[in-house]
Structure 1
Amino acid sequence: MVSRSRFAPRASAPRVPCPSQEAALPVSDAVSGPVPDPVSSPGPVPGPLSASGPRSGPVAGSAPGRGHRPAPVARRLRGAGVQAASVALLLPLLSAGLMGQGGAAAAPRPSAPAAAPGSLMEAFTSAAAAYRVPREVLLGVAYLQSRWDGHGGAPSVSGGYGPMHLTDARTALREAAGPAGAPHRHPGGEEDRRGDDRRPPVVSATGAALPPGLAAGTPPERLRTLERAARLSGIDAGRLRSDPVANVRGGAALLADAQRRLDRPAGGSAADWYGAVALFSGADDTATARAYADDVFSVIRSGAARTTDSGARVVLAADPSAVPAPGRLSGLGLREARAQGTECPRTVSCEWLPAPYQELPGGGYGNHDRSERPRSQKIRYIVVHDTEATWDTTLRLVQNPAYVSWQYSLRASDGHIAQHVPLRDVAWHAGNWFVNAHSIGLEHEGFLTAPDTWYTEAMYRSSARLVRYLARKYDIPLDRQHILGHDNVPGTTAATIRGMHTDPGPYWDWDHYFTLLGKPFRATAGPWARVVTVRPEYARHQPVFTGCARPGEVCAPHGSGAVRLHTAPSPDAPLVRDIGLRPGGEDSTTQVNDTGARASTGQRFAVAERQGAWTAIWYLGQKAWFHNPPEQPTAVGSRGVLIAPRPGPAEVPVYGRAYPEPAAYPEGVPVQPLAPYPYSLPAGQRYVAGDLVRGEYFYAKTFDPSGHRVVRGAELYYEIQFGHRVAFVKASDVRPVH
């Protein structure tokens, strides 16, 4: 079957879409009552595969490739301290609202333990008393900032330190490696972010200078709250950066000062502090301040409890009565962000900062393609990126018509969202034209190889709300074969595998992210199941990586969702090989950007063998072993549809894109080569199947969208979890196995 569609022309000015009326569900991972066992709790059973749409059901993931981290690029913010090893399982849970059960329910109050002298819990208690800030407000703000972690004195991506995320961007930049203002360079080759090999490549910049304000030593006020905390508290700035107890006291001083600036009395109930919390966020617009304060009070109402990265136990007892009166943001003097036209849930702060659609001098155009999705092509994927740049640099780059594009940027300090490309249009972000044509790209302010320039809880939550909204809007399953990292997107051909980007990398907390999405990874089958879902305990699982700061140098210890794969059931065995990354057959490495021998949290694989505490999976056409001891498992039993080669051939080809057969292309549209990978799927091996999709190619070479075409063929493909990245095989070459 051949289907071709033509697009009607639109005005050349950037089009603003109509705002959506759909309200997103609130996100909270606050603990209320006993924590269910995620290993033993049953999960949903996958639905049938279908050529007409996505399959409902749990988890799956992504496949082969390496390359380097994504552009935009800027210098890493690196702190002086090394993050302390986390010693306990994180305990994030969802509020009833996220699970679709209505409004916030009154949760039973966890009993707060008596605070030991000198403990972090005692620091919150004493600071709250000293500055007459309700303790639950202080705890709620700190939870949204850092989940109470100190990160060993290292700064966040926006230069925030300690549990209260007191910002000192000037110091964070000064402590960063390299000369002041110098760009950070990625290793490896460059990725064509558009990924359409019938057009000239659009290559991301290899480096980006610091924003003018930061380079000149004048960061905005939201990035220098630590110096004000030092003045208010009388505590040395160095102690505020490195000592969590002092940091909490500095945060209390800022909250008390915000309450005074609003002419509100100290003390009182938590609900009286809504305006001060909004002001504490540092947001310059009302929507962001409101979203931040709403999140803090959601945590206060639900309660939370966890053990921090330094081993401190912190408990916030639930207070369902903490419901602020409306209108508490009046008088803050904040601007109104340009929200009209954005496609975001109502529970996040979102503004419209359009990416340009315009012709370029000397020919060509940028920086995205006009389309009519989902009428023209189904939106199947959401791709998670990190920016490798500061917020200001990111916005400057996406508004460059000669650069690349993505749909949304998310700010680290408060979770604020900027939308750049209408969802109906195709952004140039993933390095694979088939994926770009069917996906939405989210850039998170962050840096892959600097895990201690950490992702904030505010950004994780804002992103989860946005993804949940988009998944509902476009019927995208919330699993790892549809919610992809950029590092899970396949190269289009053998020639592009080495250049593919590797963000958000091994330090992105997929387990926490999917818990916020309302789809935590759980066992859906017994311990001897033929399919496993990768799920190490993020905080305690700390594999050694190298090359974060300098080549060959061991990275600072840090929690990770990545599991390393060996050629035999032994930690001394070589890592499995990736012939796409290393055609010469060399072993994979522990380098932080090397995805050749790595499985990621939430991905599902077919089990090949088990020996003692080791499990082997089929991976890139070979058997790959990982340590999976029963006392601390790194994977759990799962369900899934498996595919294997049809009887007869010794192996079948694997592809990086699902393009139509040559006969499907109309006159005037060049045939796209199917171009099999250097990998193959040998007889006797099995892989977890995702969607069954029809071969499709979006032909877009002209600024005038009336010349665009969607070519659909008769050839069907299965998306499979082939390696760290997803891949495609022809349905005619394989068969489902039961």
Structure 2
Amino acid sequence: MGALASAALLLPLLSAAPPATAGTWEPDSLQRQFAAAAERQGVPPSVLLAVSYLQSRWDAHGGAPSVTGGYGPMHLTDAATALAEAPHHSHGAEDARGDDARAPRHGARTVTPPPTRERLPDRLTTLDRAAALTGIPERDLRTRTAANIEGGAALLAAAQRASGRPASADPADWFGAVARYSGAEDTATATAYANDVFDVIRTGESRTTDSGQVVTLAAAPGVAPAPGQVASLGLRKPSSGPTECPRTVACEWIPAPYEEFGDGDYGNHDKANRPVSQSIDYIVVHDTEASWDVTLGLVQDPTYVSWQYSLRSSDGHIAQHMPLKDVGWHAGNWFVNAKSVGLEHEGFLTAPDSWYTEAMYRSSARLVRYLAQRYDIPLDRQHVLGHDNVPGTLTSTIPGMHTDPGPYWDWAHYFRLLGRPFTASAGPDSGVVTIRPAYAAHQPVYTGCVTAGVACAPHGSGAVRLFTGPSTDAPLVRDVGLRPGGAESTTGVNDTGARASTGQQYAVAERRGDWTAIWYLGQKAWFPNPRSEPTAVNARGTVLTPREGLAEVPVYGRAYPEASAYPAGVPVQAVSPLPYRLLAGQSYVVGEGTPGEYLFAPTFDTSAHRVVRGQEQYYEIQFGHRVAFVRAADVRVSRR
């Protein structure tokens, strides 16, 4: 009762705070809101700032919820409200297995109704508790930054009281409270989350938020908390099982089933012996298009499809579903599946203003670094692919390929966390560029997030739009694979036909003033790239072009062996070109060389499985928004 009475005195102050969408701010108002809330609730300012950074990087996102229903800088969760308003639909009709040696397995996802508040775990209802602690209306907690920060500070203070510890001014005394704030149900996830928060405290951070304000947390390298405080929180121990994860993340074993149905059918993945049988060359980033509980239900369905890892948005928790030696059905391209690891991130591509937590970005980056080191996978955009960068296997499969994680995934931030930021490596006249717009400020209009043809909510994006000429009045470039009739591309959020994404590298075709043209899907594609606000950085790279005497060379969606390489009993897989043309005089950036390979695995009995390798060599190239493959014998390679 006393807490509610005290909170009531704050209502005039908090209600007068500017809304999250306000266009004018005092230069240090957000910083002062953190300081004031910390003082009123008795929380060390560094703890409050670091928790907020791990959730939202201090952004308000215009009052829109995260992919798990978290609002504002403190990510106060009201999933019942957020998920009721979010669009629930998938974004493609691909066969996730992507192997025409078997009947297609599309794995169509069942649309489930949004959960009620009563069915939600505590980690998804923290806004309710913040309202009860402070007396601040739920609407204000969702939309006003000062109220949101006050609510988060109150939750931290309540967690400290529940632990029986005093409201100490020493940040080191708050490890247990921070762990409880995560909402994690197990000790490993709560500890990993709190470790990340205190890592932010020790190293410090400073950035300009989405409201244009600079917020700073000074480094305090001497802070040494006591992780043992988590033991008193009464959390369960996770099911570690045979997990393959770095020690710095929380990872539990939730296995995908390998089950035979009869009549030659089985699911939901293939047994293999990688990397002995085949190298693992790719990591594929997905979003789930489903909530966490639905995602886990799907991957445990033997009639559905599969991937190696799922990552939870609210706290970065990881679930592993199969040994890395086995092959998941996730990318829609059997060549890529056989040589990749799939990471599903909880989220919805088309949710208006959807955003992912810093906790999930950091957890994912640690997992990717671990996988890259283990399998010697280069940390670049030719090997760390979005699902939307995986090519269709045949002309007929191109239109149905999925488009996640979409234009709102922050590749620039992700690669900074990977330790491989996209920086310039060449002068202004270089022959290669790396796409890299300023994510928060770069907000091209997308349509179709909720209603076809209607503009999505404004949001930062890591993708640039491509035109047929150096003008925004020019038509968008065409993708004849997506639209065989030759119609131009659209601004649809799921239309990848005229889109280049952060980190992707392309050969420069021409420069004209503030515009740069690249070779893209067999044509010149222009994008604005002014020196004052560049959307790409200059780079050096290896490129290829048709060898002398060839007017054009075929482009493939998979690198399969030549017919003579197949042994008796293994059907020859067609090496069918895609409907694109790589013409003489055009250049494309090379990812790496790869031998023609095909994993023959059409049966539950693995004794008949074979890896077929040919003499034919291929190069992976950045051809459009998706990668592609060309025969090494058809091209010449040079350095730019």
Same fold (TM over 0.5): yes
Q: Using the alignment, how far apart are the partners of 1:573 and 1:85 within structure 2?
A: 34
Q: What secondary structure does 2:413 align onto?
A: helix
Aligned pair partner of 1:194 in 88, 97, 117: 97
Q: Using the alignment, how far apart are the partners of 2:56 and 2:515 within structure 1?
A: 35
Q: What secondary structure does 2:98 align onto?
A: coil
Aligned pair partner of 1:286 in 182, 187, 192: 187
Match of 1:310 in 2: 211
Letter in 2 for 1:560: S
Letter in 2 for 1:163: P
Give 1:117 shift. 9.6
Unaligned runs of 5+ in 1: 1-80, 88-114, 178-183
- Bigger RCO (CA 8 Å, 6+ sep): 1
Give 1:325 shift. 2.5
Aligned pair partner of 1:664 in 529, 544, 565: 565
Q: Using the alignment, how far apart are the partners of 1:215 and 1:136 within structure 2?
A: 35
Match of 2:78 in 1: 168
Match of 1:424 in 2: 325
Deviation per residue, 1:375-409 (Å, 9 max, x gap):
00000000000000000000000000000000000
Match of 1:698 in 2: 599
Give 1:251 shift. 0.6
Deviation per residue, 1:266-314 (Å, 9 max, x gap):
1320000001000111001000000000000000001111111112221
Aligned ranges 1:367-382 → 2 under 5 Å: 367-382=268-283
Letter in 2 for 1:698: L
Give 1:372 shift. 0.3
Q: Compare the two structures and name the one with the higher helix fraction.
A: 2
**1:580 correspondence with 2:481:** yes
Match of 2:380 in 1: 479
Q: What secondary structure does 2:456 align onto?
A: coil
Give 1:331 shift. 1.1
Q: Using the alignment, how far apart are the partners of 2:163 and 2:582 within structure 1?
A: 65
Q: Using the alignment, how far apart are the partners of 1:570 and 1:170 within structure 2?
A: 44
Q: Against the structure 1 CA distance between its residues 444 and 535, is the aligned structure 2 distance closer, same or farther, given a 3 Å change threshold?
A: same
Give 1:208 shift. 2.4
Aligned ranges 1:323-342 → 2 under 5 Å: 323-342=224-243
**1:264 correspondence with 2:174:** no
Match of 1:125 in 2: 35
Give 1:238 shift. 1.1
Q: Against the structure 1 CA distance between its residues 685 and 343, is the aligned structure 2 distance closer, same or farther, given a 3 Å change threshold?
A: same
Deviation per residue, 1:529-584 (Å, 9 max, x gap):
00111111111111111101100001111110101111111110000111001110
Aligned pair partner of 1:185 in 58, 77, 89: 89
Q: Using the alignment, how far apart are the partners of 1:484 and 1:416 within structure 2?
A: 21
Asked if the contact 1:86/1:311 (under 8 Å) is kept, the reply is no
Q: Against the structure 1 CA distance between its residues 234 and 538, is the aligned structure 2 distance closer, same or farther, given a 3 Å change threshold?
A: same
Give 1:84 shift. 4.9
Match of 2:220 in 1: 319
Match of 2:146 in 1: 245
**1:149 correspondence with 2:68:** no
Match of 1:19 in 2: none
Structure 1's consecutive aligned runs of 4 or more residues displaced over 6 angstroms after TM superposition are 115-118
Q: Against the structure 1 CA distance between its residues 86 and 705, is the aligned structure 2 distance closer, same or farther, given a 3 Å change threshold?
A: farther
Aligned pair partner of 2:420 in 514, 519, 526: 519
Letter in 2 for 1:693: T
Match of 1:504 in 2: 405
Q: Using the alignment, how far apart are the partners of 1:346 and 1:224 within structure 2?
A: 29
Match of 2:537 in 1: 636
Q: Using the alignment, how far apart are the partners of 1:393 and 1:86 within structure 2?
A: 38
Give 1:327 shift. 1.5
Q: Against the structure 1 CA distance between its residues 280 and 355, is the aligned structure 2 distance closer, same or farther, given a 3 Å change threshold?
A: same
Letter in 2 for 1:159: G
Aligned pair partner of 1:542 in 423, 443, 450: 443
Q: Against the structure 1 CA distance between its residues 666 and 82, is the aligned structure 2 distance closer, same or farther, given a 3 Å change threshold?
A: farther
Match of 2:490 in 1: 589
Instruction: Name the Cα RMSD after superposition.
Output: 1.7
Asked if the contact 1:83/1:558 (under 8 Å) is kept, the reply is no
Deviation per residue, 1:34-76 (Å, 9 max, x gap):
xxxxxxxxxxxxxxxxxxxxxxxxxxxxxxxxxxxxxxxxxxx
Give 1:157 shift. 1.3
Q: Using the alignment, how far apart are the partners of 1:394 and 1:340 within structure 2?
A: 19
Match of 1:615 in 2: 516
Q: What secondary structure does 1:330 align onto?
A: helix
Aligned pair partner of 1:205 in 90, 104, 108: 108
Q: Using the alignment, how far apart are the partners of 1:116 and 1:264 within structure 2?
A: 36
Q: What secondary structure does 1:446 align onto?
A: coil
Deviation per residue, 1:585-634 (Å, 9 max, x gap):
00011111110111000000000111111111111011111110010011
Q: Using the alignment, how far apart are the partners of 1:206 and 1:176 within structure 2?
A: 16
Asked if the contact 2:80/2:117 (under 8 Å) is kept, the reply is no
Q: Using the alignment, how far apart are the partners of 1:717 and 1:82 within structure 2?
A: 55
Deviation per residue, 1:308-337 (Å, 9 max, x gap):
111222111111121113422121100000
Letter in 1 for 2:616: E
Give 1:478 shift. 0.2
Aligned length: 622
Aligned pair partner of 2:621 in 720, 723, 728: 720
Give 1:219 shift. 1.1
Q: Using the alignment, how far apart are the partners of 1:367 and 1:436 within structure 2?
A: 13
Q: Using the alignment, how far apart are the partners of 1:83 and 1:484 within structure 2?
A: 34
Q: What secondary structure does 1:331 align onto?
A: helix
Q: What secondary structure does 1:421 align onto?
A: coil
Q: Using the alignment, how far apart are the partners of 1:366 and 1:613 within structure 2?
A: 52
Letter in 1 for 2:402: H
Asked if the contact 1:535/1:601 (under 8 Å) is kept, the reply is yes
Q: What secondary structure does 1:222 align onto?
A: helix
Letter in 2 for 1:139: L
